[in-house]
Structure 1
Amino acid sequence: MIDTDRTATITAVIDSLADAWARGDADAYGAHFTEDATYVTFVGTCYQGRQDIADSHRALFAKFLKGTKLAHEVLDLRFLGSDAAVLTTRGDTVKGEHPKKLTKVQTYTLVREGDRWLVAAFHNTQRKSVMEGISFRFAPETRPKAQQ
């Protein structure tokens, strides 16, 4: 049975992250993470802690990511007991309209602290669809079961 209340709570956290990003509000963005969170970008940069995440995004929102929004869709959500969840999404950073293809895969590990869910770990991977297609063609057994 799907726990729709907890599912809605988790997806609301991700929607709130996206809202803070769209506003370019690094402090509000960082507030969604635990004090000791880890954050791995698609280029492999690893930030440690809420303050490091907020500070880096303050600079990113002022330069490279200025005026961008996050687009995301939930692929999977699993609860690991009552106080932890793992969320997998497809997503992308966009300017303007929602893209037809989301080119990244993200994993969020969330924990409940009091009455709030916070991101304890985030990992963002750039999807390489050409390499994925080659692998699936020449080694079909590498295709995830959900895609067969």
Structure 2
Amino acid sequence: MTETAHQDRPADTEAIHALLARGCAAWAAGDGAAYGAQFTPDGTDVTYAGTVYHGADEIGRAHQDLFDSFLKNTRLVVEITDLRFHGPDTAVAVTRGDVRKGGPKAPGAGAGGRLGKLATYTLVRGTDGAWRIAAVQKTRHKRLTEAFSFRLRPATRPAPHPSER
């Protein structure tokens, strides 16, 4: 894991990792309701295809249909690359990830292969003390387009992130 260290917030960091792991486990089990339960009641999920789902119930219902069809026997792989806290009850996590064929895989078993998607999660702690996903935006990482852009316009290349040093 190349995540920015949070020595001062170890319990919250662990809880956020557990939240995303529960979402991955629900995905691998093909359980839309459990996947949706990781979101706030008014959460937003902007999918890789650009579809916008609103609310935990809709996210769960739609994903159940996907798990029963296009995403049957797949698993979600998520690696946090950056985690920042913005106050006591809000965090933003930038992740690398992908969807893989093959159903459940043991936690910590590794992603295997290149992770071609990025996602930004806005995470909030509810009044019950539990962290949930308030919003997620998924994007495909277009390496060739990025490399071409950097070559033509070097000033567009971002500085190395602390996690990449």
TM-score by length of 1: 0.95
The aligned counterpart of 1:35 is 41
2:116 aligned to which of 80, 84, 103: 103
Shift of 1:98: 3.1
Shift of 1:57: 0.3
Q: How many residues align?
A: 148
Say which structure, 1 or 2, has more relative contact order (CA 8 Å, 6+ apart).
Answer: 2
Rounded to whole Å, the distance in 1 between the matches of 2:71 and 2:65 is: 9
The aligned counterpart of 1:49 is 55
The aligned counterpart of 1:117 is 131
1:17 aligned to which of 14, 23, 33: 23
Shift of 1:43: 1.1
1:59 matched to 2:65? The reply is: yes
For the residue of structure 1 that corresponds to 2:81, the secondary structure is: strand
Bigger share in helix: 1
* Structure 1: gaps of 5 or more residues: none
Identity of aligned residues (%): 45
Rounded to whole Å, the distance in 2 between the matches of 1:26 and 1:86 is: 23
Rounded to whole Å, the distance in 2 between the matches of 1:60 and 1:12 is: 23
* Structure 2: gaps of 5 or more residues: 1-5, 103-109
Pairwise CA RMSD = 1.5
